A and B are shown apart, each in its own frame.
Chain A
């Protein structure tokens, strides 16, 4: 019992990138434990997914063809069935909205220790997971009891698995219990007059702006620079800007020529949406803000002093 089961995630017929990263993480763990790597493709066009997921290092792929999209009842049931029928005792899956909708239930149901949002791990007779705390201000190492684990991994921390493997593919039938949660549809949000993904220059505002009435300052900056205004999540949560202006994991992914982050700390969910920008400029009062880790140019300073001067430069 030292095999690892990676549960892939897909949406609308596409395997999500983080699934291939989970394959890499799963292979590392299986190697350290001397076990095989199993990958599960659950729901949707599982035969096509199995072909996509057959990357180097994958020993077996199990397909469970119930339903089209994610449903936690299907995932919980299928993963439990695969833990029963294979030698896998450890589950690795993306730390995504859907991953967090079923993985904790699997861990609870099987009595297996759970560690979410892993950014690294080592296995040396026992598992030690690296994860962040206090809003990314610190990293911790966490020793996990036992040899069975459920791990959810953060996207972008492992390279995607590549190459073509020679995994055996098997189709698995599962009996689904009655579920009291039914997916009835999907909705695209954040449409509207402006598509920030099209902008060449974005002025993006975050919590540092403090009050809604201060937004005029960054609007003036955007005007002065001929830029489009976007924001991090709290600004949209507060209702100060519409959802179509939100950059990040749950908003838009943007790749402008120039991204100017004003009062944005750079939480991982935000960075996921803008790290592909050509040039990143950040203004923040906190010298330790993670936004400076990905910025090309940084200003540690008060936006209420710097921004008016910058507007004057372009006036």
Chain B
């Protein structure tokens, strides 16, 4: 079977950052593979190693810069990558439906049996693309999966969904399906030097919307970010200052006041 993994390059803000217009200043952002997607890549690679998946393909909606991140996924064991970008995405913030329209076209071309992606992207935090995609392409789905066993012969994924409060839901999902993967599902590997070398030779197929038969209208966003600001601190904490020794002394004093002792 073929596994398609949605991989996003996410931006993380430095501790000190400036806001320019409706986004954080480019120079104050660091880019990396989305943490949740790292677990999805690992799950897919493990399926390949177990002989369940024949091919692992990643799909990314992102500019050329994202290829560094995509190479990381290839170095960890994905076979090849599709990267979609278009001037239409430069217009502003893409909503869930716009991303779904893009990935839908890639799903049609690739015809996967299983789509894995992270629960959410660390930067925008919508947590919705996978489930919306499943609805669009007529796949089954399960969100927030923290345990996965694929029975390819039966065409079923046995999953646990991590609910709040330390409860897991056990669900059987027929394939084809979209599963959104929670952190902790597995232990994502570090890319080996050999993997990194091999990744240089793997294919990253760059496409624009026209290549996929998607129009700019299909990815028009219903959402528009109109302002961005740092939330006002609600802190009324008493901040303890000084060198480590002074701070520890003051902390010890107040902890003893609260009755803390060995």
> Which residues from chain A sit less than 8 Å from chain B, CB to CB?
11, 69-70, 72, 95-98, 100-105, 107-109, 111, 113-117, 128, 131-146, 179-190, 201, 223-227, 233-234, 236-239, 243, 249-253, 257-258, 260, 278-279, 281-282, 286, 288, 292-302, 305-306, 308-310, 312-314
Contact = CB atoms under 8 A, between A and B. Distances in A.
A164 to B, nearest CB: 27
B231 interface: yes
Closest 4 CB pairs of A and B: A180-B174, A309-B248, A313-B252, A113-B222
Contacts of B141: 72, 101, 105, 181
Contacts, number: 268
Contact of A133 (B228, B241, B259): B228
Count class of interface residues, chain B: 35 or more
A143 B225 CA distance: 6
Interface stretch (B117-125, B194-202, B205-213): B117-125
Contacts of B129: 104
A299 B244 CA distance: 10
Given A188-B166, A296-B238, A141 B226 contact: yes
B41 interface: no
Contact of A258 (B13, B127, B160, B258): B258
Main secondary structure of the interface of A (DSSP, over half): mixed
B68 to A, nearest CB: 20
Interface in B163-198: 163-174, 177, 183-184, 187
A290 B188 CA distance: 27
Contact of B239 (A115, A279, A299): A299
B140 A187 contact: no
B144 A226 contact: no
B88 interface: no
Given A100-B128, A141-B225, A306-B248, A187 B165 contact: no
B251 interface: yes
Contacts of A69: 169
Contacts of A296: 237-238
A240 B247 CA distance: 28
Contact of B170 (A114, A132, A187, A294): A187
Contacts of A294: 234-235
Contacts of A135: 12-13, 122-123, 125
Given A133-B123, A253-B165, A314-B262, A300 B239 contact: yes
B261 A187 contact: no
A105 B136 CA distance: 8
